[in-house]
Amino acid sequence: MPSLLEEVESILRHIVIDVLGYSEEVYEVLRVPERVLQVKIPVKTPDGRVRVFVGWRSQHNSALGPYKGGVRFHPSVTMDEVVALSIIMTWKNALVDLPYGGGKGGVRVDPRKLSKWELEQVARGYIRGIVEYIGPDRDIPAPDVNTDPQVMAWMMDEYYRLTGDNSFAVITGKPLELMGLKARIVATGYGVAIAAREAARRLWGGVEGRTVAIQGYGNVGYHTAKFLHEMGAKIVAVSDSRGGVYCPDGVDPEKAKSVKKKTGSVIDYDGDRCRKISNRELLELDVDILVPAAIENVITVENAPRIKARIVVEGANGPVTAEADKILARRGVVVVPDVLANAGGVIVSHIEWVCGRTGDRVGYEEALKKLEAKMVNAIDVVWQLWEAEFKPKNEPMRDAAYTIAVQKVLQAMKVRGWL
């Protein structure tokens, strides 16, 4: 199976060369990241041992503004994965009209195996490695898989210790005490729910009563379930890394959350007519809307022909492979791509960054209203281009989204004199 980086590069190549008619050189100019830093993070434990962790920060493109993107802590992170995710961030930020380029970070570490003290040392060590290359107008890290507001607080504080700049705008996703926003936690899932609602509105006139299956019940999966449930949709299946549960009469998102908290997994959810299912089965359920919100490459050429949902909303980054996307498009399945569907988090991060610079505060409701307006607008623009140019040829919505984003970045590169 192609890696995420190969996937991201092949889509970019297709858009730049086949769709927009530019040359191989233009593709290279857009593909190659501006800078990729590798950092060594030595942690000396109180009992005298030294453990070394490796991390990366990929700064893909800064034509539209400072690099912006999260930092993940995961035992299987690779440099290629971080580069791929930074490329995705470039298109995501462009698409929702933020004044940012694309960046992403990662540290190869299993945070579950670290003490809180060691986790703090890894967070601070990571910032020490990249400090010269970040800043409110340079590169603004944020949370991603396995990093949370506490990790962001340590990172912000380390930046302060090293530079003397006590800036609230160098990191987003911070705790409330450090000008973080309450809306940040729910933002990505809320955006995914809006993407599902907007797609359902166009297909069926609304999302009310529509059945939904969600893979992954972490930050994105749970909040997507919560908001779609509030919008009147019926969540019928949820899962996590241990498997899933299918309840034709509906899953209560709050109950699923508390079951997961208590037993460690949503598979222990019980209710009338509920049954345990595998992640594989969940993806192929006969539902209206499918939200893969866990990991990449879960819908491939192998299972794409068996997907029954009419709408797939990519909560995770890269859950549908490029080849699977084409199969789904030919079968009339609408796939709302990650660069559009999961942009809610970075939209609220931008609000937090503005607050960090000005000292103003934005409330929960106001932040979500701004998020909704930006998402609805971006979906409108992408949907219109897709319907006009791509859908008649059975081509994926991702192609329309990338076309808009790539053109925007190219224009900024041109006026800056880079091309």
Return residues touching ligand NAD (CB under 6 A): 144-145, 188, 215-221, 239-241, 279, 293-295, 315-317, 342, 345
Nearer to ligand NAD, 145 or 179 (CB): 145
- CB-nearest residue to ligand NAD: 218
Q: Shortest gap between Cβ of 172 and ligand NAD (angstroms)?
A: 11
CB neighbour class for 80 (10 Å; exposed up to 12, middle 13-18, buried from 19)? middle
Q: Is residue 226 annotated as a catalytic residue, yes or no?
A: no
The residue among 135, 126, 141 whose CA lies nearest residue 172 is: 141
Nearer to ligand NAD, 65 or 337 (CB): 337
- How far are the Cα atoms of 37, 129, 191, 238, 266 from residue 341, in angstroms, in the given order? 28, 32, 6, 19, 24
Q: Shortest gap between Cβ of 356 and ligand NAD (angstroms)?
A: 18
* Catalytic residue (choose from 44, 68, 92, 104): 104
The 10 Å Cβ neighbour count of residue 394 is 12
In a 13 Å sphere around the CA of 350, the CA atoms on its Cβ side amount to 23
Q: CA 392, CA 394: separation in Å to the nearest integer?
A: 6
Q: Shortest gap between Cβ of 8 and ligand NAD (angstroms)?
A: 13
Q: Shortest gap between Cβ of 6 and ligand NAD (angstroms)?
A: 17
Nearer to ligand NAD, 253 or 315 (CB): 315
Q: CA 326, CA 304: separation in Å to the nearest integer?
A: 9
The residue among 302, 300, 290 whose CA lies nearest residue 324 is: 300
Contacts of 362 (CB under 8 A, 6+ apart): 181, 351, 355, 370
For residue 109, which phi and psi values (nearest 5 degrees)? Answer: -160, 145
Nearer to ligand NAD, 118 or 338 (CB): 338
Q: Shortest gap between Cβ of 314 and ligand NAD (angstroms)?
A: 9
Nearer to ligand NAD, 317 or 413 (CB): 317
Tell me which residues are annotated as active site.
104
